[in-house]
Amino acid sequence: MKTQPTTQPKQKLFTTGNIAVMAVLTAISYVLYMFVKFPLPFFPPWLDIQISDLPALLGGFAINPLAGVIIIVVKCLLKMPFTGTACVGECADILVGIAFVLPAALIYHVSKGRKNAIIGMVVGTVSAIAVSLLANWLILIPFYANQFGNGNVQVGMEIIVGAVSSLYSGVTADNFYAFYLPIGVLPFNLLRCVLCAVISYLTYKPLSKALHWEIKAKAQPED
């Protein structure tokens, strides 16, 4: 009964149809990544809400987990020529995006169905939050502190603290991470991943025929 769905993902990844679908999803993801983003007043000004991982999640579900990873990586590579962070921000986005999409798609492909899709997206959300916390703690904030301070991390941290002092009363350079990670990064990435997951859940079925057009052409009887 469930044998049919598990045979489907074994098909070749780089077929003409799959490449076409991945190209379209990557283009949409890139546009979302570059232009469709906005800040929220209760997050630090450099944290913009955006849903550019959504097309990668759809690709991971429709084709296979590797397709979702490829969409994430290519989207970020395309933005690197326009980077304002010496590509550090884009590399962090690759890590967080893969942490979100890969577990979700892997779990979904074990046994396709709504329940596994939800479980996968929950696991992916937790994974993305964990990676984003580590990335901000170990990579992003140290990088920005070094940049803003022209090599003096202490000076850079004071500038960063000044930028969030209106949000977090009592924040200092010494306790910055105790405020920023649990009150900023964690809810920000939770909201971002939940938005992607909900939209994906609502749109995957309606978009399924377009995402599987090559399979439909070869095997007319299946829905």
What is the per-residue pLDDT for 12?
Answer: 81
Domain assignment of residue 176, yes or no = yes
**Count of domains forming the chain:** 1
Give the chain's mean pLDDT.
90
| pLDDT tens digits for range 112-144 | 999 999 999 999 999 999 999 999 999 999 999
Decide which of 97 and 214 is more confident. 97
What is the per-residue pLDDT for 223?
Answer: 40
Q: How far is CA 79 from the centre of its chain?
A: 14
| Overall average pLDDT of the 39-52 stretch | 94
Domain assignment of residue 171, yes or no = yes
Residues 6+ apart with CB under 8 A from 152: none
Do the Cβ atoms of 66 and 32 come closer than 8 Å?
A: no
Residue 50 has pLDDT above 60, yes or no: yes
Domain assignment of residue 187, yes or no = yes
Residue 82 has pLDDT above 90, yes or no: yes
Termini Cα distance of the chain: 15
Specify the length of the chain in residues: 223
What is the per-residue pLDDT for 136?
Answer: 97
**Cα(112)–Cα(16) distance, rounded to whole angstroms?**
23
What is the per-residue pLDDT for 10?
Answer: 57
Give 213's pLDDT tier (boundaries 50, 70, 90): low
Domain assignment of residue 82, yes or no = yes
Q: How far is CA 72 from the centre of its chain?
A: 7
Domain assignment of residue 93, yes or no = yes
What CATH number has the domain bearing residue 84? 1.10.1760.20
Do the Cβ atoms of 207 and 63 come closer than 8 Å?
A: no
Of 5, 61, 38, 4, the C-alpha closest to 201 is 61
| Overall average pLDDT of the 198-222 stretch | 72
Domain assignment of residue 74, yes or no = yes
| Overall average pLDDT of the 150-157 stretch | 95
Give 9's pLDDT tier (boundaries 50, 70, 90): very low
Residue 4 has pLDDT above 70, yes or no: no
Domain assignment of residue 56, yes or no = yes
| Overall average pLDDT of the 79-84 stretch | 94
Domain that holds residue 119: 3-218
Q: Amino acid identity, residue 29?
A: S
Q: How far is CA 165 from CA 70, 130, 132, 173, 185, in A?
A: 38, 25, 22, 11, 15
Residue 177 has pLDDT above 70, yes or no: yes
| Overall average pLDDT of the 93-120 stretch | 96
What is the per-residue pLDDT for 222?
Answer: 42
What is the per-residue pLDDT for 214?
Answer: 57
Instruction: Name the residue with tokens 């190209």.
Output: 23
Domain assignment of residue 223, yes or no = no
